[in-house]
A = this chain, B = another copy of it.
Amino acid sequence: MRRTSAETKSIILSAARERFAADGYERATIRSIAADAKIDPAMVMRYFGSKEKLFAAAAEFDLRFDALADVPREQLGAAFVRHFLRQWEAGEALQVLLRTGITNDGAAERMREIFAGQLAPRIAALTGDPASAPVRAAMISAQMLGIGLARYILQFPPVVGMSEDELVSWLGPTIQRYLTAD
């Protein structure tokens, strides 16, 4: 009995998040995750049951859009961009989702839930127009996922080289438009 079960469980979880974020679902093997956590592969099974369930636990997260509740209308675009960029950098969760959502159907479904279920209602509340909220949410998601893809996954040099402020000045007006256009 070296540790409590909750401790090792969380050690495994964070190792899993890193591996999934770096390698995607298929290439992140249970053995490599276990090695990172300095633990036996069988432990991963004991605590999470299967690779799918491990992944489900690792991909759980909250975009925390509530932080944007009282931003003035005209600054919403810039605020959204800044918020997204920080979410990308805060933890591996978004990278996990993007890397895996592309080959793993479960992850794609979760992505849809998150962006439709967390972003759209927020936009409906902010703009007061529930009818157009899903489309606006989808356009904003597409733009911000595209930037995440270019910056963190594909690593296009110009995008990697830009500062947060530069990105905000490029993307802010775009998001603002997706929020408010006709």
Contacts and interface: CB of A to CB of B under 8 A. Distances in A.
B177 A27 contact: no
Q: How large is the interface on A (under 10, 10 to 19, 20 to 34, 35 or more residues)?
A: 35 or more
A141 B157 CA distance: 12
B103 A157 contact: no
A157 to B, nearest CB: 7
Main secondary structure, interface of A, reads: helix
Contacts of A27: 26, 103
Shortest beta-carbon contacts, A-B, top 4:
A146-B146, A138-B158, A26-B26, A142-B150
Interface of A: 23-24, 26-27, 98-99, 101-103, 108, 111-112, 115-116, 134-135, 137-139, 141-147, 149-151, 153-159, 162, 170, 173-174, 177-178, 181
